[in-house]
Chains A and B, each alone.
Chain A
Amino acid sequence: MTTSATPTTTTAGGLRVAQPTVASHLHEYWQRVRGGDLGSLPAVLGLIVLSLIFSVARETFTSPLNFANLFNQGAQTVFIAMGLIFVLLLGEIDLSAGFASGVCGAVMAILLTNHGWPWYGAIPAALLTGVVIGLVLGLLIAKVGIPSFVVTLAAFLGFQGLLLVLLSGGVNISIRDSFVIALNNKNIPVLWSWVLAVVAVAGYALVQFNRRRARAARGLVTDPAGVVLLRIGGLAVVVLATTAVLTQERAVNPAINSLKGVPIVVPIIAAFLILWTFVLGRTTYGRHVYAVGGNTEAARRAGIPVDRIRISVFVIGSFMAAIGGILQVSRASSVDPNTGGSNILLYSVGAAVIGGTSLFGGKGKIVNAVIGGAVIAVIDNGMGLMGFSSGQKFIFTGLILLVAASVDALARRRAAATGTR
């Protein structure tokens, strides 16, 4: 603000505002970071550091086979975390998401195996179960007014029990439906992998350029071309490099069973990442979610139906948990009383928070779930390769979650201190 030589420009209505340049963008980003708005930065740095450590310690960590495994292993966590981000944006919590995903997975498995339903009946049934669960939770929280912590804690226990009942006291139900099993085990052919990657990058570039052109046509301030190109270039590098690794042969014995191509679960994650990012960033509904999370009273006075928003985030949360459950059942080809139990919920909350979503509400993006989920998957996978026990993994992941929550809390204090600059 004190830089006197800031070039200015005129925006709509003749209002003079600063003309952004590549340098000013970077400067502003740095100012935001210093002001406590860290976003995904700690998670990205952590991901790089952890990956370096594990790749030095264990050669297998960097093998294409292991890289592909990370996606399949992390899928459930990432999906539950995506749903949790909606809940966290309102400053609420859903402790039952883990077992809700287990229950939904069990519903699908039971319909497939015990009742002989086809996948196109069983999967919607599981998703519907998720929606109903979210609706009940949301109504109890928004309309009855019970704190979400208590409602979902009760549901945590309740769903654990429900899962046991569904599995008649704890039997393991396996599934044989090839479509469902393929979801989180099989890969896309190499050619299609490349086509999807190129389409994704081209689509992103198109959206970016279009937005810039539309704004320029209205005489509004536009991001400098350099920044736009940097964004597109960055995405292109990540997507194409990932595709390049994943399209390599990673079977131990390719002659018997060739294993290459992007795992099917990757475009599924990408599709939901795009869908929810669009909903949060570009629709009225998303805007209202942020508003309710930022200042409920202001949202109420602006005529936003606060209760309905509150219910809806729990519906989305449980719906995404259902997808996570389906993918987990697909990966294990079976469901057992601990599907969605154990560390799944805490890994998912951890993924969202580590990725940069605030526990205090109002701040977070869907991509946080993917980045945070990657950190969790890398820790879990890397420490496993290094021969650490489950106990040690839990302790370390717990510590990482604490660190992320501390960063969030400290950043909030810092933002409060610098907010009135």
Chain B
Amino acid sequence: MAATPLLELSGIDKSFGPVQVLHDVGLSAYAGEVTALVGDNGAGKSTLVKCVSGIYTIDAGTVSFDGRPVTIHSPRDAAELGIEVVYQDLALCDNLDIVQNMFLGREKVRGIVLDEPTMEQMAGDTLASLSVRTVKSLRQLVASLSGGQRQTVAIAKAVLWNSRVVILDEPTAALGVAQTAQVLELVRRLADSGLGVVLISHNMNDVFAVSDRIAALYLGRMAAQVKTSEVTHSQVVELITAGRSGTVGLPPERPDGNGNGNGVAVDITPGGDQ
């Protein structure tokens, strides 16, 4: 707790035209911890991630990385800082093998020739460091992998580049029970190896299984950031659906509160996921 957060967002605002999707959002992700980012559909999770990864630019607020303020204007900036995002659709090429996918766009070359042995070795090292045991061959086509294995390859691709923060967007959404367990185990190992992990999830079981902290977004505001050990299932569900639970969360709604708050008149969900 005393350590500075690896990635710290504060006061992030983001609007799309007249629709303000993020209001004064703060988020901290610590090295060696899994921070779960939860929230209902349209709460602004994806928008927040896209702001961090440089796909969107933020309107206001600051992003600090490793204690110093940074600006992220493009996915390349994010990658240079060591922030990698694993999107829901994974972005893998079915017609390429595991090694080829992991190095896509950043191939190692010797002269003009692809340096396959080096790439295969690095891919093998990375997968081994993630304690992956389920591939038959590193030269297997991604098309022939199961959903969990694909997710593993996508995650391995993200950690291959000495990344420091890995953001996972719904990594278990399309998986069966056994594969979900495998991927969650992998997520835990990423954090244990010192990375800062941000896990976006809808699934409370997943969240409680692996996360150290939970950050709940509610209608574009950060309702609460709590330690997983200090809250219960139902409290988190209340945070997601109502923005508050007992003493934690956003202050109670005040009809005479400031103009753009969640007053009675404003119950239109910000369209965060377009």
Which residues of A are at the interface with B, using a C-beta cutoff of 8 A? 1, 11-18, 20, 35, 214-215, 218-221, 282-284, 287-288, 290-291, 293-295, 297-299, 301-304, 362-363, 415, 419-421
Contact = CB atoms under 8 A, between A and B. Distances in A.
Given A13-B125, A419-B143, A421-B144, A291 B117 contact: no
B100 interface: yes
20 contacts: A12-B121, A13-B125, A15-B128, A218-B120, A219-B121, A220-B120, A220-B121, A220-B124, A221-B137, A221-B138, A282-B114, A287-B96, A287-B100, A287-B114, A294-B93, A301-B87, A302-B104, A303-B105, A304-B105, A363-B95
Contacts of A301: 75, 87, 91
Interface in B31-84: 75-76
Interface string B124-137: 11111100110111
B133 to A, nearest CB: 7
Contacts of B147: 420
B268 interface: no
A219 B113 CA distance: 20
Given A1-B136, A283-B114, A420-B147, A15 B94 contact: no
Contacts of A363: 95
A299 B126 contact: no
B146 interface: yes
Contacts of A287: 96, 100, 104, 107, 114
A11 B124 contact: yes
B106 interface: yes
Given A13-B124, A35-B144, A287-B107, 5 more contacts: A11-B124, A219-B121, A221-B138, A301-B75, A419-B144
Contacts of B120: 11-12, 215, 218, 220
B137 A282 contact: no
Nearest to A19: B137
Given A13-B121, A419-B144, A295 B107 contact: no
B266 interface: no
B264 interface: no
B171 to A, nearest CB: 17
Closest 6 CB pairs of A and B: A302-B105, A12-B124, A13-B128, A13-B125, A294-B93, A294-B95
B135 A15 contact: yes
A16 B126 CA distance: 13
A82 to B, nearest CB: 19
B91 A15 contact: no
Contacts of A220: 117, 120-121, 124
A15 B117 contact: no
Interface residues of B, number: 42
B77 to A, nearest CB: 13
Given A13-B129, A14-B128, A15-B138, A299 B104 contact: yes
Interface in B117-164: 117-118, 120-129, 132-133, 135-138, 143-144, 146-147
A12 B121 CA distance: 5
A363 B141 CA distance: 12
A420 B144 CA distance: 6
A307 B125 CA distance: 34
B210 interface: no
A298 B104 contact: yes
A288 B144 CA distance: 20
B76 A15 contact: no
Contacts of A35: 144
Given A12-B120, A13-B126, A284 B107 contact: yes
B105 A362 contact: no
Contacts of A421: 144, 146
Nearest to A214: B117
Contacts of B207: none
Nearest to B132: A15
A18 B135 CA distance: 9
Interface string B82-112: 0000010111111110001000111101001
A17 B93 contact: no
A17 B76 CA distance: 34
Nearest to B150: A420
Contacts of B125: 12-13
B136 to A, nearest CB: 5
A287 B132 CA distance: 25
A81 B87 CA distance: 37
A30 B222 CA distance: 55
Residue with the greatest number of chain A CB neighbours at <10 A, chosen from B93, B100, B118, B120? B93
B133 A16 contact: yes
Nearest to A216: B117
Given A284-B114, A302-B104, A303-B105, A17 B137 contact: yes
A14 B113 CA distance: 26
A298 B127 contact: no
B102 to A, nearest CB: 10
A20 B137 CA distance: 9
A28 B144 CA distance: 12
- Name the residue among A1, A13, A297, A303 with the largest chain B CB count within 10 angstroms: A13
Contacts of A20: 137
Contact of B93 (A14, A15, A283, A299): A299
Contacts of B100: 287, 290-291
A211 to B, nearest CB: 8
B179 to A, nearest CB: 11
Contacts of A294: 93-96
A415 B95 CA distance: 11
A290 B96 contact: yes
Contact of A295 (B91, B109, B112, B113): B91
Nearest to A416: B143
Contacts of B128: 12-15
B258 to A, nearest CB: 40
A302 to B, nearest CB: 3
Contacts of A290: 93, 95-96, 100
Nearest to B121: A12
A11 B106 CA distance: 22
A218 B123 CA distance: 13
A17 B135 contact: yes
A419 B94 contact: yes
